[in-house]
Structure 1
Amino acid sequence: MTTSHTDQSWPTAGLSFGGDYNPEQWDRSAWRDDVALMREAGVTMVSLGIFSWGLLETAEGVYDWEWFDEIVDLLEAGGIAIDLATPTAAPPSWLLAAHPEFPPVDQDMTRHWAGARLGWCPSNPDFRSHALRIVRAVAERYGARDHVVMWHVSNELGGGNGHCYCDVSADAFRRWLMTKYGTLDALNAAWGTAFWGHHFSDIEQVLPPRGNDAKNPSLMLDFDRFSSDELLAHYLAERALLAEITPGLPITTNFMVGAEPDAVDYPRWAPHMDIVANDHYTRSSDALPQQDVAFSGDRMRSLTTDRRPWLLMEHSTSAVSWQPRNRAKKPGELIRDSLSHVAHGADGVMFFQWRASRAGAEQFHSAMVPHAGPNTKIFREVATLGGYLQRLAPVLGSRVRRASVGILFDNEAGWAMRAGVKPNNFLPYGATVRAWHAAFWRRGDGIDVIPPWHDFGDYETLVVPQLFVVSDDTAARAADFVAAGGTLIVTAFSGIVDENDHVRLGGYPGAFRDVLGAWTEEFYPLQEGETFELDNGWGGAEWTEHVHTDSAQPLARYRGGHLDGEPAITLRTLEGGGRAVYVSAGLSGGAIDALVNDLIAAPELAGRDPDLEIGVRESDADRFVFLINHGEKPATADVDGHELLTDAAVEGSIVVPAGEVRVVRSPR
């Protein structure tokens, strides 16, 4: 069966707005009320069927479509587009009872019990056959409906089955290794198996990194890569079937991109997405959640080489339910978070979920319609946001203004940091990257958080924070970046190993030693509670190094202790103006801010109110300035144009009330 759909750049006519809709949780009498409330709130699209497999296929090959037909018809009558899910995140109880071998197995060889999400081994070919059967059935029945505008493959792949250590996975891992390395000799060399006498003479001797003892870090890194590839293979199998049945209908799956290493390698998955989509939730314990929103958006649009708009598939209207203490969002925070995602490149704002559940594991997770109903702060803000997004329709398809700062982030570096033992086993990769992002974000710099293989040429400043794994190609392009006049900032524990997790010899940070003109003889990780000071008054914790300079000059030296007087931060300046900075010390956030301000010229928006976040998107004809006031006092910005949310002319400057957002449109 084919469909009448044609290729389109975005699934809705304007910015998409809505959330996960799970009508099966409610009596049918509520469905019409739901659609009426969706229209009142300005909802344009819902994600449907994500956890519906067991109610659609009640036994193998036996389907109950009647209830789903009704809700699909109701949404069509209400003018609500459908982001239709393949329900493979939630295998039915009857299937798992018949196949107890399907759930994944932990590294201690404990098999998961049924009852959680994504309860299946990604390498199991029998499970995939069952999954493709329900995918085909759903696609053939609903894929031709005009208001089905997008495919949502499974849900948060890797969120419950990121790794499986079962025998089926072990066999798949061996095949993956032989495809990658070709021979056992090459595998033994790549893993350094001469250490501890772990040389393999037969591929059948290779096992996943089971158990809790110290394990080979090269093996662990390859198993992370394999696990990501296995989940990608499942996605691609579903994608191929959907593309065959519904050509022209965009296909995606929802990522979980944040500041920590991802469950799977999203930058390497992104080329397989027609629309890149993300789920993002702030943490109650986060001292600066608005910067976490910005960081996620700066990563999302940088997953694709053309930095195209992306879709926020899920976030929360208020508190979630899975953190130790779940903070409710303050008045206006729902709107600020949502429009900050748009400012950072999202062309749609979706939530989990439409109506808060009465029962189940996430019954206290906030929703667009809370337990108290529509006469609530949450629903009023949801409806206000829906109106705002309608007024922001001209933003659709525009791009975030060119960034001057590129920050490298690579899942493989994060995975390798936790694979095997390290001089300090508590160095937080994601927190380090985010600390450097925060320093530039506070200044108002445009930032892209990019994979190491993307082009560096568009940036004026390139930051390499704790990029433990670095290829020769990345190191060479970083050197070329400096030679072309850019400023490179490399932080401690970057460039230490190659792609096989082998230490680069000749002094740390091996991959960047030449371009930095400085090298480290020995690491001096600090003990818990210890701190250090530099001779310029800066300080920090966690990490120090014994640094030597060749062609670099010290910018700051350690003060006191056994490293007294030794270089801590160095600068090499090339004749063409390029600069390479090495930060060997684990600087505090304030010291990072001071260093950035000393090194990098202030951006165009310098001097703004520190609580006022400013983002800029541009189309061929227009410029859209997003002004998000995270503070408790009004903030002023210099800008001209037309304010879209209040429909008011702006001449010279605008006052943004405390906790509110303004978006000013002007010709480019």
Structure 2
Amino acid sequence: MSIGVHVHTSDPATRRAADAWPIGLDALGYGGDYNPEQWDDATRLEDIELMREAGVTIVSLAIFSWARLEPREKEHDWEWLDVTMDRLHAAGIRVDLATATASPPPWLTRKHPEILPQLADGTVLHPGGRQHYRISSPVYRDYALRMTRAIAERYGSHPALAMWHIDNEIGCHVPLDYSDDAAHAFRRWLERRYGTIEALNAAWGTAFWSQRYDAFEEILPPRTAPTFPNPTQQLDFQRYSSDELFSYYADIRGVLAEVTPDVPCTTNFMVMSPTNQMDYPGWMDLSREWPDASVDVVSNDHYIQASDPHPERELAFSADLVRSIAGGAPWMLMEHSTSAVNWQHHNRTRTTAESHRNSLSHLAHGADALLFFQWRQSRAGAEKYHSSMYPHAGTDSDVWRGTVRLGEILRAVGEVRGSRVHARAAVLFDWPSSWAARLDSHPTDDVDPRLLAQRLHHALARRGVMADVVRASDDLSGYDLVLVPELYLTTPEAAANVAAAAERGATVLVSYFSGIVDASDHVYLGGYPGAFRDLLGVRTEEFWTLQPGETLTLSDGATATTWSENLRAEPGIEVLATYVGGDLDGVPALTRRAVGSAGGSAWYLATRVDDDALQSLVDRLVEASGVEPVVAEAPDGVEVTRRTADDGRSWLFVLNHSDVEVRVPATGRELVTGVDAAGELTVAAGAVAVVRETRA
């Protein structure tokens, strides 16, 4: 798929390998965003000594420094950054150096107000915050590339430079821009996608509501309209916006590839948001298509929600999703918090034990670097109450002591660096399908593909089963268990890929509201679940969505909410549960079909069941698939994962999220405490253990 990326081609021999890593980072990454421009020189000197004490190995630098580096157009002030780079190098600390393009300086928006983004209702987003630029503005791109080149030429050969940090959280605040520049770019994207206006009209179903277009120039972004905009127009605009955000990354990456072809690049993803507008796996597809636009090292920012009673569950899901985006390679946690953040409605302070457990959870799921926002807590500005590694209270504080202790722990467990997580179960999650499922004018607004994916993922984790979080279009040949939650938009190719997994012997579960529409958001005719109907051997005539608070009971005792279906099973399909009472009395709610000659099966869950029933179902699926848990028995509230090195060494991670001491089967040296485990390991309440396993 072409998105018009302006790629600078260099000699293939100079391109970074797919498993690139920050140059010179020969330990687990530990550090955070460093903003010396906010402080005087005496404080900066103190920072270096404190970083040494904490065991910092890498910092992100100059992310929001454009106005300081270029206070007036074409007039640069490099001295403070020169000195900082030199000091960090002398201290043995590697630098993830930013392009400084994440927030345009005031002189730029004053000179070119036309670069400011717009909302769907035409509201202009003005300076005063950050990321106030149109991603599609040619004017802004030119300035951003100019700034990138200046930084690259000055610091590309500096011995502290470990990698480039392109912009920051691209699309975080303005994932969808509806400006005239966006309208122009959207039309060109549509021309590349469809070729002709006739093909677009067919894909968008413009015969409905007299929406037929005669030329691409008639098309606008889905701006605020009297009623529901065309759903395929909305979906394509989200696709375009994700591609356009990547093209911005790619243009900057192209300059860096030209100036410093051997320095790896990253940009920090944000997979935690359920409504995220960036299709990161799609970005990686494009990255592989154009090596000089590559995302060499996958990095992610993650913050837990204070309102979530079990934030460790979403954290584990997000971490496995990032690892899968990285293709299983080690990845970087670029930002998280030591304690409370400042930007949620009701922020929550975390204990040191919880902070360490959250940090090491990412390590347990495949990260090789744990960084925070930020190093020193700001004294002024919008994020002054965001926790940091070095807090307002100084060194006589629990947060600082926790910072130093985490550095000690990472040195103790540093031997896990480079090892990987291997999973035989997969939970499917696809951003474009999720976007489509959450569009307006659907049977209910309560469909949430990510929520069901997280529930299934947690049910696997409770049984000690590790899982990758992948797309239906990805290679599924390595999985014995494949879970397909609310995959509303399903291409024929993706449906065939899932069916092939069952044919190979995998156990497959498909949930309600899956396989309903094609890539153009057109319904598969003949009955639901369209694309999966043949695989499952079932046919739904009509959805029966439930009102808030309404429940149904199934024959196996489960309680169902939100969704049900008037489902018919073909002869030979095993009905495992039915609805009891009401209009759907006796109608199948859970079915199973034997597939192929290798012992595969395809299960269909036609309703949203309670947590206990979902756990019971996942237990049955795990047993049917033959997937082995990490350990035979793990107490409730305890998360276990394993990382394995190419030489056969392995490390068992035990994360005790409960408030009681637990015992877990383990044999080997526990690296955090230095204690040997001979068959059983005791882990304190809220603690984390990392065992170098001894195998018989």
TM value normalised by structure 2: 0.93
How far residue 526 of structure 1 moved from its aligned partner, in angstroms, is 0.6
Aligned counterpart, 1:620: 646
| Paired amino acid for 2:266 | T
Q: In the alignment, what sits opposite 1:603? A: 629
Corresponding residue for residue 219 of structure 1 = 233
- Counterpart in the other structure of 1:302: 324
Task: List per-residue Cα deviations over 1:584-629 (Å, max 9, x = no partner).
Answer: 1111222111111133217352421112211100002310111111
| 1:356/1:368 contact within 8 Å kept | yes
Q: Give, as a single letter, the amino acid of the residue that structure 2 aligns with 1:154.
A: D
Partner of 2:264: 250
> Paired residue for 2:276?
262
Contact 2:313 2:458 in 1 (8 A): yes
1:320 aligns with 2:341: yes
CA distance in 1 between counterparts of 2:273 and 2:202 reads: 33
The AA in structure 2 aligned to 1:358 is: R
Query: Is 1:518 equivalent to 2:538 in the alignment?
Result: yes
Matches within 5 A, 1:487-566: 487-550=507-570, 551-566=572-587
Q: CA RMSD in A?
A: 1.7
Give the Cα–Cα distance (whole angstroms) in 1 for the partners of residues 526 and 273 of structure 2.
31
1:20/1:352 contact within 8 Å kept: yes
Deviation of 1:5 after TM superposition, in Å, equals: 12
Query: What are the superposed Cα offsets for residues 403-461 of structure 1, whole Å, 9 maximum, x if unpaired?
Result: 12101101001111222310002322221211111111111101000022211111111
SS of 2:497's equivalent in the other structure is helix
SS at match of 1:375: coil
SS for the counterpart of 2:170 is: coil
Q: 2:428 aligns with which of 408, 420, 428?
A: 408
For 2:200 and 2:478, the matched residues in 1 are separated by: 37
- Say if 1:67 and 1:574 are closer, same or farther in 2 by CA, change over 3 A: closer
The 3-state SS of whatever aligns with 2:608 is coil
What do residues 189-236 of structure 1 show as CA deviations (whole Å, max 9, x unaligned)? Answer: 011100111111111111100005201110111000100111111100
Matched, 1:590 2:612: yes
* 1:259 and 1:433 in contact (8 A); partners too: no
> C-alpha separation between the residues in 2 aligned to 1:6 and 1:455?
24
CA contact (8 A) 1:558 1:568 kept: yes
Matched ranges for 1:98-497 at <5 A: 98-212=111-225, 213-258=227-272, 260-270=274-284, 271=287, 272-305=294-327, 307-400=328-421, 402-497=422-517
Report Cα offsets for 1:142-196 as digits up to 9, x if no partner: 1211111010000000101211111111011111101110001100001110011
**Aligned residues of 1:303 and 1:451 also touching (Cα < 8 A):** no
Mapped contact 1:557–1:569 kept (Cα < 8 A): yes
Shift of residue 572, structure 1, vs aligned partner: 0.8
Q: Structure 1, unaligned stretches of length 5 or more? A: none
Tell me the SS of whatever aligns to 1:43: coil
- Which is further off, 507-516 or 604-613? 604-613
Distance 1:25 1:19 in 2: 15
1:575, distance to aligned residue in structure 2 (A): 5.2
Post-superposition offset of 1:541: 1.1
Structure 1 SS opposite 2:540: strand
Q: Is 1:259–1:296's contact at 8 Å kept on the other side of the alignment?
A: no
Distance 1:618 1:548 in 2: 45
Q: Secondary structure at the match of 2:609?
A: coil
Name the residue aligned to 1:648.
675
- Asked if 1:630 is matched to 2:657, the reply is yes
Letter in 2 for 1:40: E
Judge conservation of contact 1:299–1:450 (CA < 8 Å) in 2. Answer: yes
- Rounded to whole Å, the distance in 2 between the matches of 1:452 and 1:347 is 27
The letter for the 2-side match of 1:654 is L
Report the residue type matching 1:572 in the other structure.
R
Shift of 1:297: 1.1
Q: Output the CA distance in 1 between the equivalents of 2:15 and 2:199.
A: 48
Q: Tell me the CA shift for residue 73 of structure 1.
A: 1.8
C-alpha displacement at 1:331, in angstroms?
3.3
The answer to whether residue 600 in structure 2 is matched with residue 574 in structure 1 is no
Q: Which amino acid aligns with 2:690?
A: V
Equivalent residues of 1:642, 1:650 under 8 A apart: yes
- Judge which range, 320-329 or 48-57, deviates more: 320-329
- Report if the CA contact (8 A) 2:524-2:531 is conserved: yes
1:129 to partner: Cα distance? 0.4
Q: What CA distance in whole angstroms lies between the structure 2 residues aligned with 1:540 and 1:28? A: 62
More displaced stretch, 199-208 vs 638-647 = 638-647
* 2:666 is the alignment partner of 1:639: yes
Tell me: CA distance 1:667–1:236, structure 2 relative to 1, closer, same or farther (3 Å). farther
Percent of aligned pairs with the same amino acid:
46
Contact 1:345 1:399 survives alignment (8 Å): yes
Shift of 1:540: 2.4
1:625-651 C-alpha deviation (Å, 9 max, x unpaired):
111111122111121122222223322
Unmatched 5+ stretches in structure 2: 1-9, 288-293
3-state DSSP of counterpart to 2:115: coil
Q: Which residue of 2 aligns with 1:93?
A: 106
Alignment CA distance shift 1:119-1:275 (3 Å): same
* Whole-angstrom CA distance in 2 between matches of 1:451 and 1:241: 31
Q: TM-score, normalization: structure 1?
A: 0.97
Task: Provide the secondary structure at the position in 1 that maps to 2:459.
Answer: helix
- The residue type equivalent to 1:238 in the other structure is I
- Residues 467 and 504 (structure 1 numbering): CA distance in 2 closer, same or farther, change over 3 Å? same
Separation in 2, partners of 1:294, 1:367: 22
Question: CA 1:165–1:243 in 2, change beyond 3 Å: closer, same or farther?
Answer: same
After superposition, residues 74-89 of structure 1 pair within 5 angstroms as 74-89=87-102
Deviations 1:355-414, CA, capped at 9 Å, x for gaps:
1111111111111111111211111111111111112221111111x2121011010011
| Separation (CA, whole Å) in 1 of partners of 2:300 and 2:621 | 34
> How big is the shift at 1:99?
1.1
Which whole-Å deviations, capped at 9, do the CAs of 1:291-346 have from their partners, x for residues lacking one?
111101110111133x1111000001011111111011123011111111001000
Distance 2:567 2:616 in 1: 21
Sort the Cα spacing of 1:203 and 1:575 in 2 relative to 1 into closer, same or farther, 3 A.
Answer: closer
Check whether the contact 1:82–1:148 (CA below 8 A) recurs between aligned residues: yes
Q: What is the CA-CA distance between 1:347 and the residue it aligns to?
A: 0.4
CA contact (8 A) 1:635 1:655 kept: yes
How many positions carry a matched residue from both structures? Answer: 665
Secondary structure, in 3 states, of the residue corresponding to 1:332? helix
1:34 counterpart residue number: 47
Compared CA separation, residues 112 and 327, structure 1 to 2 (3 A)? same
Task: Work out the CA distance in 2 between the residues paired with 1:287 and 1:606.
Answer: 27
- The 1:604–1:343 alpha-carbon spacing in structure 2 relative to 1, beyond 3 Å, is closer
* Deviates most, 421-430 or 182-191: 421-430
For residues 333 and 227 of structure 1, the distance between their equivalents in structure 2, rounded to whole angstroms, comes to 36
The 3-state SS of whatever aligns with 2:639 is strand
Query: Following TM superposition, by how much is the alpha carbon of 1:667 offset from its aligned partner in structure 2, in angstroms?
Result: 5.4
Partner Cα separation in structure 1 for residue 158 and residue 316 of structure 2: 36
